[in-house]
Structure 1
Amino acid sequence: MFTPVPSSHPQVFNAKTAELLSHHQVEINQSFPKEGWVEEDPKEILQSVYECMERTCEKLTQLNIDISNIKAIGVTNQRETTLVWDKETGEPLYNAIVWLDLRTQSTVERLINKTPGRNKNHLKHKTGLPISTYFSAVKLRWLMDNVDEVAEAVLTHRAMFGTVDSWLIWKSGSLSGIPISGCLGDQSAALVGQMCFQEGQAKNTYGTGCFLLRNTGAKPVMSDHGLITTVAYKLGRDKPACYALEGSVAIAGAVVRWLKDNLGIIQTSTELEKLAASVGTSYGCYFVPAFSGLYAPYWEPSARGIICGLTQFTNKSHLAFAALEAVCFQTREILDAMNQDSGIPLTQLQVDGGMTSNRLLMQLQADILCIPVVKPSMPETTALGAAMAAGAAEGVSVWSLCPEDLSEVTSEKFEPQINPEESEFRYARWKKAVQRAMNWETTEPISNGNGETSIFSSVPLGFYILGSMLMLIGAKYIAGQWRFSVDVLTVHERRTCTLYEHG
């Protein structure tokens, strides 16, 4: 079963067979202090890791496996979830700001306004990234500007900043003498776990969000179509770094949680597939789940979620189908951009992540992409990739990454079952819905046209309201309907003045 919530989830693999031997999972609570804000407690994250490791080792003992046989530990994590801690006390100075948090939208808009031509890609040639709420740097900027403890720690050189992996490693070090020898961001780990070591190979991970990476080899490729350039992995001190093109979708599995917790149309995530399959169509309903804006290829934080194409016949089953289609359409947008950047269309897509247990979703994905979708029998390739990196590290060397030594992976292939014309028609309608979702929110103040905030922007409206009130008073006076009183206005005039006072 797929549950789209954050968690700690240690898994133990056999280095020779890649078999999963033991695992345990503990969910991590998220808090939402304000609209668009998403936080996690760093201490809870750390405690959940310790608890999971203890339970995982207990299960190994029950299987008569000696925990002394564990040779190395690999860490993988949400990459942009950001926190700052005091290096002297070891205490976090604020909650971890989660990757899809939107509080930095005003920071992003302010930075973009300072670039020539208000270009969000102004730094892309240096970083590979657009200026976006998604990435950690603007989260750090917000923390420095808004949290006194962080600002003070920065000034006194006590602040440590990083993503969750750096926090865990800094706090844990070597666990019971077992070295932490591998560390990969979750999507890079999935690329390794899918064994996409050749240039041109790609995988898509379906979790809370959706992340498609394509290996571009030892040379970084800058995207002209809304993708980001990222380091895929570096597996060894003397090995070259490999790069990837990446497309990120903010809301994939999270839409399942929204349908369950916010709308209440399902009780468990597994119900979604049955509900959608019961109708087999969205009946012309299209759902753009831009709850946190839109990521690749638009990078538009002002977008918001929209459901369109509703009729009196639309019911919750059609909405469930539209939600699954939305995940597939967003992946299609990224794949199209990736094909344009590389010049070589992808002929099949390797997939992983919890949502891949939804067979209807996988079939829809193949139909909308018009290429086969290949799912490995073991969907948790992210953890596998971290284990492979740790086992292959210098000084550990219990896991060979040579292609001839890698274990054969059994998989299931989903072939397209609709004609390309139907796929293109549905995709075009989706693109139309996306345009409707754009430019809903902004934190920018009213401008006087010169790029400066103006308190006089409401003066014409004020003159209009005042003039209207005077004309009304004059008209009533002339008509003999106005009665002066030493007391107060009648209820009617009081209401009239109130109406005009508030516009």
Structure 2
Amino acid sequence: MSGPQAGAEQWSEELSARASSHSRFVLGLDVGSTVIRCHVYDRTARVRGSSAQKVENVYPQPGWVEIDPDVLWAQFVAVIKDAVKAAGVQMNQIVGLGISTQRATFITWNKKTGHHFHNFISWQDLRAAELIKSWNNSLVMKLLHGACRVLHFFSRSKRMLTVSRFNFTTQHVTLRLVWILQNLSEFELTEQPSVFKVQKAVEEDNCCFGTIDSWLLYKLTKGSSYATDYSNASTTGFFDPFGMCWSSLVATLVSIPLSILPPVKDTSHNFGSVDEEIFGVPIPVVALVGDQQSAMFGECCFQKGDVKLTMGTGTFLDINTGNRPQNANGGFYPLIGWKIGQEVVCLAEGNAGDTGTAIIWAQKLDLFTDAAETEKMALSLEDSEGVYFVPSFNGLQAPLNDPCACASFMGLKHSTSKHHLVRAILESIAFRNKQLYDMMQREIQIPVTNIRADGGVCNNAFVMQMTSDLINESIDKPAHFDMSCLGAATLAGLAIGFWADKEELLKLRQSETVFKPQKKWQEYEMNMENWVKAVKRSMNWYNKT
């Protein structure tokens, strides 16, 4: 045998031999919205060393959320070096690297020089809100929806049904990228004497687009590798999960050439090796994955009907829908979970934008010193005394989809204490979980098999127990909750034979606590109805029209 296939097999055999030794390790990295983490894992999936740094967001204007790519790159390299050092191992003992990243945060850069044109535009950024509203109300979208409804009536095509219900959101890359091309005149190329804009670079085929995973891969390999994976691609709004390719329809609709989008590869894949100058050895990059899909994999939600509830910066509820994407009804979005060889696993996802961010905000106001205190503060009261909190610093996502909603407290009284405020914040997280779960039950006709939680907020037993009560389901909290890191590491490990298969990963998974329903939903019903009223009064607050 000769050619690319033989080369790939030889590469796989070499890495399997390297990975078989007990003195070898894999790295799992998670570039989240608030923290960059790196864990060094051994073959028992035990963390041998760790490092973390806070992600520094930049807020140039109200509603704008950016990340400085140079700062992010320096932090990324530093956490890898620090984690390996903390593990007491050498770089040449690292046999594979998996990278999980916050999704739909993007950047563009000069194809010839590699210099970026602007900061990363975060998935939390709202600068395109008016453009999105205009597009969703446009005649073009109405005609598209109508035509696809007719086509679905005759063809019964799931793809046509999904397109007939498709609307742009602020979390899609699509119209945020359009906004960049139309408006960022202040972000110009300064590395060349002739100054020109991003739009001109696109026109001259000199522009690379990438989410964080693509850009990190490009930097790690010093430009020799440029790609993304199916999980990250499917969250951009440019991807067709039914055709498993970039959508020419969406690209044509918003006048973005497909040529600027990276090639899409398997989630567990040989993406290339880190340039030797960076860490002293050429570490293989063998997994790229979106953070929620990575957490889903780390939680071993491998079966159809398995559900993952992540409560980190935001809340993300995902259900495994098998090997076919589900129709999007405006609430839950069809995604690719991962692709490994011939195996494709699809998910449906709904999310709420402000979970951990609300707790961090309250901490900055000195309502408490440490987030761990909030559980006791909430439990010290019988109720919130009619105080309700609307977690909407970044607008409200499904089922309300209002980027103009404001965060607010309602029902404040002379007797309101900081304990009431904290309890109201925690209750709002559980209420949002209930909203998302009910919407999932309505839209996705798949029986739920297991519910597993992760993310920093899952350490709050008050939120976990209240959520279990509200949805009347048991929720399994793992012993280790950095699931995005673990998912990236296990996907990388599977690529190189560090772990044999998913059955081995299931045996390694450990539960810490299973929260079971203790109260009936009816005991919360009136409070939730009042909370929903508060949410409705917060909507459309920032509307300029």
TM-score range relative to shorter protein: 0.7 to 0.9
**Residue of structure 1 equivalent to 2:283:** 178
**Number of residues of Structure 1 aligned to a counterpart in Structure 2:** 432
In the TM superposition, what is the alpha-carbon distance from 1:375 to its structure 2 partner?
Answer: 0.2
C-alpha contact 2:135 2:141 (8 A) present in aligned 1 = no
Structure 1 window deviating more from structure 2 (308-317 vs 243-252): it is: 308-317
Q: TM-score, normalised by structure 1?
A: 0.81
Corresponding residue for 1:142? 179
Name whichever structure is richer in strand by fraction: 2
- Once the two structures are TM-superposed, the CA of residue 405 in structure 1 deviates from its matched residue by 5.7
SS of alignment partner, residue 310 of structure 2: strand
Unaligned 5+ segments in structure 1 are 445-503
- Find the counterpart in structure 1 of residue 503 from structure 2: 403
Contact 2:136/2:167 (<8 A) preserved: no
Verify: 1:10 aligned to 2:38, yes or no: yes
What does residue 534 of structure 2 align with? 433
2:57 counterpart (30, 33, 43): 30
Could you tell me how far apart the structure 2 residues matched to 1:121 and 1:276 are?
Answer: 46
Measured after TM superposition, the shift of residue 126 of structure 1 is: 4.3
CA distance in 2 between partners of 1:429 and 1:195 (Å): 37
CA distance in 2, matches of 1:129, 1:56: 42
Distance between the aligned counterparts of 2:165 and 2:475, measured in 1?
28
Partner of residue 152, structure 1: 200
Quote the offset at 1:225 in angstroms.
5.5
* Aligned equivalents of 1:85, 1:354: Cα separation in 2: 33
> Once the 2 structures are TM-superposed, how far is the Cα of residue 118 of structure 1 from its aligned partner?
6.0
Q: Partners in 2 of 1:127 and 1:53 — Cα distance?
A: 45
- Aligned partners of 1:83, 1:225: CA distance in 2, in Å? 27
Contact conserved, 2:162 with 2:328, CA < 8 A, in 1? no
Moved more, 365-374 or 196-205: 365-374
**Equivalent position amino acid for 1:13 in 2:** Y
Q: Which residue of 2 aligns with 1:369?
A: 471
Shift of 1:45: 0.7
Amino acid of the structure 1 residue aligned with 2:305: G
CA contact (8 A) 1:112 1:120 kept: no
Q: 1:429 to 1:141 in 2, by over 3 A?
A: same
Task: For residue 48 of structure 2, give the secondary structure of its aligned residue in structure 1.
Answer: strand
- For structure 2, the 5+ residue unaligned runs are 1-31, 149-160, 186-196, 222-272, 275-280
Is residue 97 from structure 1 mapped to residue 97 from structure 2 by the alignment? no
Q: Residues 233, 256 of structure 1: CA spacing in aligned structure 2 closer, same or farther, 3 A cutoff?
A: same
Q: Describe how 1:169-318 pairs up with structure 2 within 5 A.
A: 169-173=217-221, 174-175=273-274, 176-224=281-329, 226-235=331-340, 238-261=341-364, 263-318=365-420
Q: Shift of the alpha carbon at 1:108? A: 0.6
**Match status 1:111 vs 2:138:** no
- The residue type paired with residue 90 of structure 1 is G
**1:347 deviation in Å?**
6.1
Return the letter of the residue paired with 1:370: N
CA RMSD of aligned residues (A): 2.3
The 8 Å contact of residues 165 and 330 in structure 2, kept in 1 or not, is answered as: no
CA deviation after TM superposition for structure 1 residue 159, in Å: 1.3
Quote the Cα distance in structure 1 between the aligned partners of 2:178 and 2:520.
Answer: 49
Residue 168 of structure 2: which of 115, 123, 131 is its match?
Answer: 131
SS of residue in 2 equivalent to 1:58: helix
Contact 1:78/1:164 (8 A) holds in 2: yes
8 Å Cα contact 1:130-1:228 kept in structure 2? no
Matched-pair contact (CA < 8 Å) for 2:470–2:520? no
Are residues 202 and 119 of structure 1, via their aligned partners in 2, closer, same or farther at CA, if it must alter by over 3 Å? farther
Deviations 1:405-434 (A, max 9, x none): 632422111112222211333322222222
- Please give the alpha-carbon distance, in whole angstroms, between the structure 1 residues aligned to 2:372 and 2:353: 21
Q: Answer with 1 or 2: which has the greater Rg.
A: 1
CA positional deviation for 1:296: 1.7
Cα deviation for residue 40 of structure 1 reads 0.8
Whether 1:52 aligns to 2:152 is: no
Q: In structure 1, what is the equivalent of residue 107 of structure 2?
A: 83
Question: Is the partner of 1:379 in helix, strand or coil?
Answer: coil
Aligned-residue offset at 1:203: 0.3
Task: Name the SS for the 2:428 alignment partner.
Answer: helix
The DSSP-based 3-state class of the residue aligned with 1:72 is strand
In structure 2, distance between residues paired with 1:83 and 1:98: 9
User: Given the alignment, which residue of 516, 528, 531 partners 1:415?
Assistant: 516
Distance between the aligned counterparts of 2:321 and 2:370, measured in 1? 39
- CA–CA distance in 1 between the matches of 2:420 and 2:405? 23
**Alignment check: 8 A CA contact 2:39 2:50 kept:** yes
Give the direction of change, closer, same or farther, for the CA distance of 1:121–1:439 in structure 2 (3 Å limit): farther
- In 1, the alpha carbon distance for the partners of 2:431 and 2:445 equals 21
Cα distance change of structure 1 residues 385 and 404 upon mapping to structure 2, 3 Å threshold: closer
How far residue 104 of structure 1 moved from its aligned partner, in angstroms, is: 0.8
Residue number in structure 2 paired with 1:495: none
Which residue is equivalent to 1:499?
Answer: none
Deviation of 1:443 (Å): 4.0
After superposition, what is the alpha-carbon deviation per residue over 1:65-89, rounded to whole angstroms, capped at 9, x for unaligned?
3432321110110001111111222
Contact 1:400 1:406 in 2 (8 A): no
Which segment drifts farther, 167-176 or 41-50?
167-176
- SS of residue paired to 1:313: coil
Matches within 5 A, 1:428-467: 428-444=529-545
Deviation at 1:111, TM superposition (A): 1.2
Secondary structure, in 3 states, of the residue corresponding to 1:191? helix
Between 333-342 and 149-158, report the one with greater CA deviation.
149-158
What secondary structure does 2:438 align onto? helix
Give secondary structure in 1 for the equivalent of 2:448. coil
| Partner SS state of residue 57, structure 2 | coil
Letter in 2 for 1:258: W
Q: Distance in 2 between matches of 1:298 and 1:23?
A: 39
Deviation at residue 399 of structure 1 after TM alignment: 1.8
Deviation at 1:343, TM superposition (A): 3.0
Q: Is the 8 A contact 2:321 2:446 kept in 1?
A: no
1:154 Cα deviation (Å)? 1.5
- Quote the Cα distance in structure 2 between the aligned partners of 1:195 and 1:318: 37
Which is worse superposed, 210-219 or 409-418?
409-418
Post-superposition CA distance 1:256-284 (Å, at most 9, x none) = 111122x3322332332232232242112
**How far 1:401 moved relative to its partner?**
2.8
Q: Secondary structure at 1:9's aligned position in 2?
A: strand
Asked if 1:357 is matched to 2:459, the reply is yes
Contact 2:162–2:329 (Cα < 8 Å) also in 1: no
